[in-house]
Amino acid sequence: MKKKIGVYICHCGGNISDYVDVEKVYAEVRNEKGVALAKITMFACADANQKEMEADIPEKDLDGVVVASCSPQLHLTTFRAVVERAGLNKYDYVHANIREQGSWAHSDNKSGATENAIHVVKAAIAKVRNAESLEPIKISSVKAVAVIGAGVSGMRSAIALAKAGCKVYIIERDHFVGGRVAQWENLFSTNETGEEIIKRLYNDTINNDNITLYTGAQVLSQSGNIGSYRLKVQINPGFVRNSVYSYEMDEAISVCPIKIPDLFNFGFTQRKAIYRNHSGQLPIMAVIDDENCTRCGDCEKVCKDIDFSQQKKEINIEVGSVLVASGFDTYTPKNNEFGYCVIDNVITLPQLKRLVAMSDRHLEYKGNRIKNIAYIYCVGSRQLDGENKYCSRYCCTAAIHTATEIRRKYKEINNYHFTRGVRTYGKQEIYYSEALKMGDVFMQSFDNELPEVLQKGNKTFVKIKDILTEQKELKLQADLVVLVTSMVPRDGISVNDLFKLPKGRDGFLKEIHLKLRPVETVIDGITIAGCCQGPMNLTESVNSALSAATKSYSYVSKGELELEPIIAKVDKEACTWCDACFKACPFDAIIKVEEGFKVFARVSDSICKGCGMCLPVCPKDAIELNSYTNREIEEMIDMLASD
């Protein structure tokens, strides 16, 4: 209980005193219980006043301070710093807002504004009277980060973390690194290929002593919290002994009897159960896909590097933070969505990109030479009826870039774009201009009158009501119809579920605040990077990867973390463990403790966010929230409700 409280009432140069009778407030509060000093000041935040406060506190031996001024958003930290400089604890300071919630809100009612201010200041005094000094919670933090995913985002953030001197474990589910970018040829604006980019990142990754790369790996379980996450990782073997490119290995691949669709080429080609990396993917080696291999042993007979004795390994790693860069999937159109799966020559944009990568002098599909390509935009995004309401952002540019690349490679091709409004934002507009100048044709439809793909005989037609041509009906005989598909959240990512990472309405992982805290999640110590958060192009993915790396690094760099002490605490004597708080806690911060016969709840300091959800559900009233104790709140209410 504080007995010597200093109260400072601010004019804010007329902002407050024009409507609130500051003198009257002063007169009303100077004799409040515990108030040892009350002052009126023109600008509380001014240097002179701050110095005066710093002098007052030791001189009058003050043990609590209230400043009645503007919003705490503006100056709470200012005055907390003042009291700390004068030797008090920062929680010995309470801020009363009589400007934004007082004079400005009630400028039409001066006496009412004054009454309001008196009550607010009295409540602040009541709170500070009961305030307790608190110290930040300090926990140790392991100077290591786990990066989930070895695509561009994952590798780029790992390199940044490793260069800062942090130990990094990259956990990649596939046997090869590179993710989606490995699948693309020329990338827009720099005209590097996906392969070149991946090669650069891979070399930097494996040549850095701080980085340990696990491929064919997945996280099985996790425990702990920020500063110390313990992950159990399973590493699947590739069953191949050395990665040298050998004739025998070619032989082993050719004798393998198992054929499955190759997802790298979106099912255009088939691969064996033993297969090599595609160009773009690294490391250069062959692996056996455990799931599809029947252990027939044919490969073993022709190649001595096959080793079926390799076993799954489980390893445990401990990290201070986890950076999730688990990437995206491409949207698979529904059966007969724009003729997909039903009409022969309807494919998706990612498929087209692989088709071009695999084609030579002419672009051919199913034996037919392609002349006219129709691109249908916004497939799987901006859906009027479907679930994907979002704009997938990257696809307009990707489609236009691919179309112009195709035109450069195959002169005889004409591109027809059936858009819903071209969104090549920022510098990408250059590609739109270029495509126009090259003679690509762009049409646009409303979202309730989408283009139609029809088959007549063995010909495929695309029809549109073009809003750029007085809504005229236009028709094209297309040799190939390309559905410009969106990015969708990736399914089956174990860490998403293990960490209970929250998802947005679009199904992508969700940040705390899109603008102000864009790479942090509500789970402390877990950051997100790249397309697991939403559709991004490569530039944006790398921006977010570096941002997430910086944030993750800030959790582990000092080896120690300071956490806000405003958390819940349980009165172990009063608690009888009914598990109501355990169920109410959204962060799993409540731990069941058994000491002899006594069973009670304990709050994990490092997990609790101080949200207060456990408080009202406790039937024994055994939980209190630091800095918002029952006594503080009750006395504040008394003051606010008094005459």
- How many CB atoms are located within 10 Å of the residue 341 CB? 12
Contact criterion met (CB below 8 Å) for 424 and 432: yes
Among the listed residues 33, 51, 301, 475, the single contact to another protein using CB under 8 A: 475
Is 8 a binding residue for another protein by CB under 8 A? The answer is no
Q: How far is the CB of 473 from another protein (least distance, A)?
A: 4
Query: Cβ closer to another protein: 357 or 374?
Result: 374
Is 63 a binding residue for another protein by CB under 8 A? The answer is no
Mark the segment that binds another protein (CB under 8 A) among 63-71, 190-198, 475-483, 487-495: 475-483
Query: Cβ closer to another protein: 469 or 576?
Result: 469
Among the listed residues 164, 293, 302, 436, the single contact to another protein using CB under 8 A: 436
Q: How far is the CB of 397 from another protein (least distance, A)?
A: 15
Contact criterion met (CB below 8 Å) for 40 and 9: yes
Query: Cβ closer to another protein: 223 or 477?
Result: 477
Among the listed residues 472, 503, 558, 583, the single contact to another protein using CB under 8 A: 472
Convert 606-628 into a string of H (helix), E (strand) and C (coil).
CCCCCCCCCCCCCCCCCEEECCC
| Gap between the Cα atoms of 129 and 136, Å rounded | 21
Q: How far is the CB of 461 from another protein (least distance, A)?
A: 10
Is 470 a binding residue for another protein by CB under 8 A? The answer is yes
Residue 44 CB burial class (10 angstroms; 0-12, 13-18, ≥19):
buried
Query: Cβ closer to another protein: 337 or 440?
Result: 440
The beta strand positions in 302-432, using DSSP E, are 313-319, 321-324, 328-330, 346-348, 364-365, 368-369, 372-379, 414-419
Among the listed residues 291, 385, 473, 497, the single contact to another protein using CB under 8 A: 473
Is 463 a binding residue for another protein by CB under 8 A? The answer is yes
Among the listed residues 220, 284, 468, 637, the single contact to another protein using CB under 8 A: 468
Is 342 a binding residue for another protein by CB under 8 A? The answer is no
The SS3 of residue 414 is: strand
Contact criterion met (CB below 8 Å) for 504 and 494: no
Is 437 a binding residue for another protein by CB under 8 A? The answer is yes
Mark the segment that binds another protein (CB under 8 A) among 110-118, 179-187, 360-368, 461-469: 461-469
Is 266 a binding residue for another protein by CB under 8 A? The answer is no
- How many CB atoms are located within 10 Å of the residue 641 CB? 9
| Gap between the Cα atoms of 162 and 124, Å rounded | 48
Mark the segment that binds another protein (CB under 8 A) among 13-21, 267-275, 439-447, 533-541: 439-447
Mark the segment that binds another protein (CB under 8 A) among 111-119, 428-436, 545-553, 565-573: 428-436
Query: Cβ closer to another protein: 343 or 436?
Result: 436
DSSP annotation of 332 reads P
Mark the segment that binds another protein (CB under 8 A) among 320-328, 438-446, 492-500, 545-553: 438-446
Query: H or E element: which one contains 68?
Result: strand 64-69
Among the listed residues 45, 474, 498, 522, the single contact to another protein using CB under 8 A: 474
The beta strand positions in 433-479, using DSSP E, are 441-444, 452-456, 459-466, 472-478
Is 433 a binding residue for another protein by CB under 8 A? The answer is yes
Contact criterion met (CB below 8 Å) for 134 and 163: no
Is 438 a binding residue for another protein by CB under 8 A? The answer is yes
Residue 78 CB burial class (10 angstroms; 0-12, 13-18, ≥19):
middle
Is 611 a binding residue for another protein by CB under 8 A? The answer is no
Sequence-distant (6+) residues with CB within 8 A of 297 are: none
Residues in contact with another protein by CB under 8 A are 372, 414-416, 432-433, 436-441, 443, 463, 466, 468-470, 472-477
